[in-house]
Amino acid sequence: MRFLRLAFVIVLGSIVLSACSELGVKPWERDVLARPEMQLIHDPVEAGLDDHIYFSKEASSGGRGFGGGGCGCN
């Protein structure tokens, strides 16, 4: 039951988000976002090494995750 409520909230949240279609750019205006240095995790190897250090020396870990952004092609 709790999972269902959570799933409902997420889907509802998605609809709210899609209502925010004010935000964003046209598909042909993604030149800057397509640049490698504008990716959310630009260097995954470095991100992994850093995660390892901080995971070993602190009590928190993770939080980051997926990409998105980029050129939005295809």
Partner 1 sequence: MKKVIWLVGLLFIYVSSSFAQVESTSAPLVELPVGKDKLIFSDYRGKVILLDFWASWCGPCRQSFPWMNDVQARYADQGLVVIAVNLDQDKQGADEFLRDIPATFKIVYDPEGTSAEQMDVMGMPMSYLIDRDGILRHRLIGFNSRKKIQHEDHIRALLDETVRK
Partner 2 sequence: MQLINRKKSGVRKIKKIAPALAAASCSLLSVASSDVLARGEAGTWDFEVASLFYSEADDRVMAAEPVFSASKTFEDGEVLNLKAVFDTLTGASPNGATPSAAPQTFTKPSGNGTYAIAAGDAPIDDTFQDTRVALSASWLAPINRDWEYNAAFYGSKEYDYLSIGTSGGLKRYLNSKNTALNFGLSFSFDNIEPEGDIAKPLVEMAHLGTSDSFDSTRDGSSDSKTIIDALFGVTQVINRNTIMQFNYSLSLSDGYLTDPFKILSVIDETAGANFGGNLLDGNGNNIYLHEARPDSRMKHSLYWQTKYALSNGDVIDGSYRFMLDDWGINSHTFDFRYRWQLGSSYLEPHLRYYMQSEADFYKRYITETEYLAGNLQEATADYRLGDLDGMTVGLKYGHKLDNDTEFNMRVEYYLQTSAGDEGFGLLKDQDLYPDTRALIFQIGYSF
Binding site for partner 1 (CB under 8 A): 4-5, 7-8, 11-12, 14-15, 26-31, 34-35, 71-74
The radius of gyration of the chain from alpha carbons, rounded to an integer in Å, stands at: 17
Q: Judge whether 53 and 22 are in contact, CB under 8 Å.
A: no
Q: Judge whether 54 and 61 are in contact, CB under 8 Å.
A: yes
Pattern of binders to partner 2 over 2-31, x per CB under 8 A? --------x---x--xx-xx-xxxxx-xxx
Q: Judge whether 71 and 36 are in contact, CB under 8 Å.
A: no
Q: How far is the CB of 40 from partner 1 (least distance, A)?
A: 17
Nearest residue (CB) to partner 2, 1 versus 60: 60
The owner of tokens 């020396």 is 57
Residues that bind partner 2 (CB under 8 A): 10, 14, 17-18, 20-21, 23-27, 29-33, 35-49, 51-69, 72, 74
